[in-house]
């Protein structure tokens, strides 16, 4: 569906982007010198302690993958309180709120993802020591969610009229097996054909992502009849086959540049300590900023599974003494089922794209040294569709993302909020 829509979307988005008055108006001067905008930037700095309080409140509402609903309801209430229009939760679970622009056509999505990687049983209680906030999800992405609300509030209070319409979005399914389902829904259904620019708030620091790290994710399930570990010794063993596969994967050699990675992130299975298991599975994630390198590591992965299976089955064909085990092995050797559970496309925004120039103007006005890199965020989807997109980091300094000891250092974090605000205006354009 998405593939079929892509060329049409691209043409439409390009046509609107090229004629967007916002971008032309913004190029004329530095927005940061306008009194209303200067005032809003000062407000954002004063409001940073409240932004941090909001970040903590959001974090303490758990939002495990596929269970973002409670946090989404809270976010929707905030959008209503801010006076955004047409506030709604769409069919996929994304929260949307609209701030109409002056021009008819350009539409900027300003997005932060609602979900965390943590299962429901993990406590998301936050502790604070000095400038350090500690708790699962505090940086990724409660920081982005809190910054988005403050930016929306600053805009509403300032009464600034933007050229483009801004749709604020709290999206679902960015992490893990969510596989970008929230943002994919925005482009395929909820706002199909209408989004001309996309900005995601995700990650900490003052950089930005203009490239999409692609990834393939798989679940591999090894199966065999299984049996008693003593009585049926000699059965080919799915867990041993999985071990052989992981041993091969662990030896993969990948380039530093273009950065390419692999990780077996989960294993699950087995029956008991005294059983030859009948099933075991693993989940593996492979990433690269280069599509060619990603395909190479993908090919090595498939070869590793095939040869691990062959080794395990051949080994017992040779060594099993028990005739019943030999019979089972001959009829039902260990098999492996490779299931694709995630795909994120690779891509890169052109260095001279207006959306990146807009971010550079915001950076320059705030004395931030612009730095762009590749990321794996909601922007992957628009970037792969050829729609101008950027992911802004959100200030402060995060560490331990996706770990239980995740933390956020809020020293000078107001700069991230100010940059997000100014970059949004530079992208959306401001009426003179
Ligand atoms: Zn994130």
Instruction: Look at residues 255, 195, 206 and name the one whose alpha carbon lies nearest to residue 383.
Output: 195
Q: Are residues 111 and 147 in the same domain?
A: yes
CA of 141 to the centre of ligand 1 (A): 5
CA of 203 to the centre of ligand 1 (A): 6
Please say if the pLDDT value at position 14 is more than 50. Answer: no
Q: Are 279 and 268 in contact (CB under 8 A)?
A: no
Q: Which domain holds residue 311?
A: 215-343
More confident of the two residues 2 and 149: 149
Two tokens at 429?
């354009």
CA of 31 to the centre of ligand 1 (A): 29
Domain finish residue from 343, 377, 397: 343
| Helix, strand, coil in percent for the chain, rounding step 5 | 40, 25, 35
More confident of the two residues 10 and 379: 379
HSE value, Cβ hemisphere, 13 Å, CA-based, for 300: 19
In this prediction, residue 289 has a pLDDT band, given cuts at 50, 70 and 90, of confident
CA of 219 to the centre of ligand 1 (A): 22
Domain finish residue from 287, 311, 343: 343
Encode pLDDT of 328-383 as tens digits: 999 999 999 999 999 888 888 999 999 999 999 999 999 999 999 998 899 999 99
What mean pLDDT is reported for the chain?
92
Q: Are residues 240 and 182 in the same domain?
A: no
Q: For residues 265-291, give the mean pLDDT.
A: 96
Q: For residues 143-178, b (16+ Cβ closer than 10 Å) or e, as one string?
A: bbbbbbbbbbbbbeebebbbbbbbbbbbbbbbbbeb
CA of 113 to the centre of ligand 1 (A): 7
Q: How would you list the strands of the sheet with 407-409, edge to edge?
A: 127-129, 132-134, 407-409, 397-399
Task: Please give the share of the chain, as a percent, with pLDDT higher than 70.
Answer: 93
Task: Please give the share of the chain, as a percent, with pLDDT higher than 90.
Answer: 83
Scan for tokens 């500690």, then name that residue: 134
Cα(404)–Cα(127) distance, integer angstroms: 13
Two tokens at 276?
């030859």
Per the DSSP assignment, residues forming a β-bridge with 85 are: 98
Listed in sequence order, the residues at least 6 apart from 431 whose beta carbon sits closer than 8 Å to its beta carbon are 25, 102, 161, 162, 163
Instruction: Kindly list the distances between the CA atom of residue 326 and the CA atoms of 141, 237, 263, 318, 364, in Å, as whole numbers in the listed order.
Output: 53, 12, 34, 9, 72
CA of 176 to the centre of ligand 1 (A): 10
At residue 432, the pLDDT reads 81
Please say if the pLDDT value at position 30 is more than 90. Answer: no
Q: For residues 113-135, give the mean pLDDT.
A: 95
At residue 6, the pLDDT reads 42
Q: Are residues 25 and 41 in the same domain?
A: yes
Listed in sequence order, the residues at least 6 apart from 378 whose beta carbon sits closer than 8 Å to its beta carbon are 111, 113, 171, 174, 180, 182, 183, 198, 200, 202, 391
At residue 401, the pLDDT reads 86
Q: Are residues 362 and 324 in the same domain?
A: no
Please say if the pLDDT value at position 11 is more than 90. Answer: no
Instruction: Kindly list the distances between the CA atom of residue 121 and the CA atoms of 66, 117, 118, 126, in Å, as whole numbers in the listed order.
Output: 14, 12, 8, 15
Q: For residues 253-265, give the mean pLDDT.
A: 95
Encode pLDDT of 158-192 as tens digits: 999 999 999 999 999 999 888 899 999 999 999 99
Q: Are residues 72 and 148 in the same domain?
A: yes
CA of 139 to the centre of ligand 1 (A): 8
Encode pLDDT of 304-340 as tens digits: 999 999 999 999 999 999 999 999 999 999 999 999 9
CA of 274 to the centre of ligand 1 (A): 42
Tell me the CATH number at 247.
3.30.70.360
CA of 205 to the centre of ligand 1 (A): 13
Q: Are residues 241 and 263 in the same domain?
A: yes
Please say if the pLDDT value at position 13 is more than 80. Answer: no
3-class DSSP state for residue 45?
helix
Tell me if the bond preceding 369 is cis, omega within 30° of 0: no
Q: Are residues 315 and 359 in the same domain?
A: no
CA of 377 to the centre of ligand 1 (A): 7
Q: Are residues 177 and 298 in the same domain?
A: no
Scan for tokens 């596989």, then name that residue: 179
At residue 18, the pLDDT reads 38
In the chain, the number of structural domains is 2
CA of 236 to the centre of ligand 1 (A): 41
Tell me the CATH number at 359.
3.40.630.10
Cα(297)–Cα(303) distance, integer angstroms: 10
CA of 261 to the centre of ligand 1 (A): 18
Encode pLDDT of 42-78 as tens digits: 999 999 999 999 999 999 999 999 999 999 999 999 9
CA of 144 to the centre of ligand 1 (A): 8
Q: Are residues 120 and 220 in the same domain?
A: no
CA of 286 to the centre of ligand 1 (A): 17
Q: Are residues 58 and 163 in the same domain?
A: yes
Scan for tokens 């207006």, then name that residue: 354
CA of 24 to the centre of ligand 1 (A): 31
Domain finish residue from 297, 321, 343: 343
At residue 19, the pLDDT reads 39
Q: Are residues 235 and 151 in the same domain?
A: no
Cα(292)–Cα(386) distance, integer angstroms: 19
In this prediction, residue 103 has a pLDDT band, given cuts at 50, 70 and 90, of confident
3-class DSSP state for residue 394?
coil
Cα(416)–Cα(204) distance, integer angstroms: 8
Q: Are residues 310 and 363 in the same domain?
A: no
């Amino acid at each position: 569906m998405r593939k079929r829509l892509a060329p049409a979307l691209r043409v439409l988005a390009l046509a609107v982007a090229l004629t967007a008055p916002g971008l032309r108006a913004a190029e004329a001067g530095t927005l940061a010198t306008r009194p209303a905008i200067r005032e809003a930037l000062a407000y954002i700095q004063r409001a940073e302690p409240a932004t941090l309080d909001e970040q903590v409140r959001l974090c303490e509402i758990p939002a495990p993958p596929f269970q973002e609903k409670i946090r989404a309801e809270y976010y929707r209430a905030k959008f209503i309180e801010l006076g955004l229009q047409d506030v709604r939760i769409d069919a996929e679970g994304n929260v949307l709120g609209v701030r109409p622009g002056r021009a008819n056509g350009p539409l900027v999505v300003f997005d932060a993802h609602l979900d965390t990687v943590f299962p429901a049983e993990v406590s998301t209680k936050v502790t604070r020591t000095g400038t350090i906030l500690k708790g699962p999800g505090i940086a990724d992405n409660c920081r982005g969610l809190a910054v988005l609300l403050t930016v929306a509030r600053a805009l509403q209070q300032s009464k600034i009229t933007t050229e483009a319409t801004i749709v604020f979005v709290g999206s679902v399914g960015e992490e893990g097996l969510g596989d970008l389902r929230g943002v994919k829904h925005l482009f395929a259904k909820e706002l199909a054909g209408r989004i001309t620019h996309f900005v995601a708030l995700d990650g900490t620091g003052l950089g930005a992502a203009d490239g999409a790290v692609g990834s393939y994710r798989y679940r591999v399930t090894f199966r065999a009849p299984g049996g008693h570990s003593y009585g049926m010794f000699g059965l080919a063993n799915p867990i041993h086959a999985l071990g052989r596969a992981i041993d091969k994967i662990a030896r993969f050699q990948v380039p530093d540049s273009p950065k390419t990675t692999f990780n077996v992130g989960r294993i699950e299975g087995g029956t008991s300590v005294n059983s030859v298991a009948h099933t075991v599975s693993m989940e593996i994630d492979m990433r690269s900023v280069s599509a060619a390198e990603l395909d190479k590591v993908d090919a090595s992965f498939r070869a590793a599974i095939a040869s691990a299976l062959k080794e395990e089955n051949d080994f017992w064909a040779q060594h099993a003494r028990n005739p019943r085990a030999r019979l089972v092995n001959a009829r039902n050797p260990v098999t492996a089922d490779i299931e694709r559970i995630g795909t994120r496309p690779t891509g890169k925004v052109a260095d001279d794209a207006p959306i990146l120039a807009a971010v550079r103007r915001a950076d320059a006005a705030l004395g931030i040294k612009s730095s762009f890199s590749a990321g794996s965020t909601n922007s992957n989807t628009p970037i792969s569709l050829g729609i101008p997109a950027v992911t802004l980091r959100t200030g402060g300094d995060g560490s331990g993302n996706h770990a239980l000891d995740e933390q956020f250092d809020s020293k000078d974090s107001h700069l991230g909020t100010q940059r997000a605000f100014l970059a949004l205006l530079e992208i959306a354009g401001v009426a003179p």
